[in-house]
């Protein structure tokens, strides 16, 4: 299972996860696959679905925007929304949340059938509605 970090996720976090041997990609580094910095959510969803990637993001517009939600439903993909308690996301807070729940995220992604949306927060994973 490969996880695709969208543009809102820090490239530094991506590099740290890669250095630890985790199967993560960052949209900013994927020009050779037709993505890259500034890629639309539509393009990211379609690409992730076609490749069997799960998306990790801070942006919940996929769930709230009717147009994006329709694209998500037509292109089944797993999406993990990270959410902290603080109003302002700090790099360490995002890293800590992701690392603390990484094994649960991976286990869920392996067994779950897309499409699915999951909220990742301090208390753990829950279905996003």
CB 81 within 8 A of CB 117: yes
Q: What is the pLDDT of residue 86?
A: 61
Q: What is the pLDDT of residue 116?
A: 94
What's the CATH architecture for 3-127? Answer: 3-Layer(aba) Sandwich (3.40)
Task: Give the chain's residues under pLDDT 50.
Answer: none
Place of tokens 């991976």: 106
Q: Nearest-CA neighbor of 129 among 86, 69, 76, 67?
A: 69
Q: What is the pLDDT of residue 32?
A: 83
pLDDT in tens, 57-88: 988 888 888 898 889 889 999 999 998 766 56
């Amino acid at each position: 299972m490969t996880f695709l970090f969208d543009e809102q996720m820090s490239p530094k976090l991506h590099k740290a996860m890669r250095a630890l041997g985790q199967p993560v990609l960052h949209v900013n580094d994927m020009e050779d696959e037709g993505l890259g910095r500034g890629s639309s959510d539509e393009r990211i969803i379609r690409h992730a679905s076609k490749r069997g990637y799960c998306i990790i993001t801070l942006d919940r517009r996929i769930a709230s925007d009717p147009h994006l939600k329709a694209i998500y439903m037509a292109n089944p993909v797993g999406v993990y929304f990270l959410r902290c308690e603080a109003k302002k996301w700090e790099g360490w807070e995002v890293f800590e949340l992701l690392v603390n729940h990484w094994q649960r995220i991976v286990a869920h992604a392996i067994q779950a059938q897309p499409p699915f949306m999951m909220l990742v927060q301090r208390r753990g994973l829950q279905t996003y509605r």
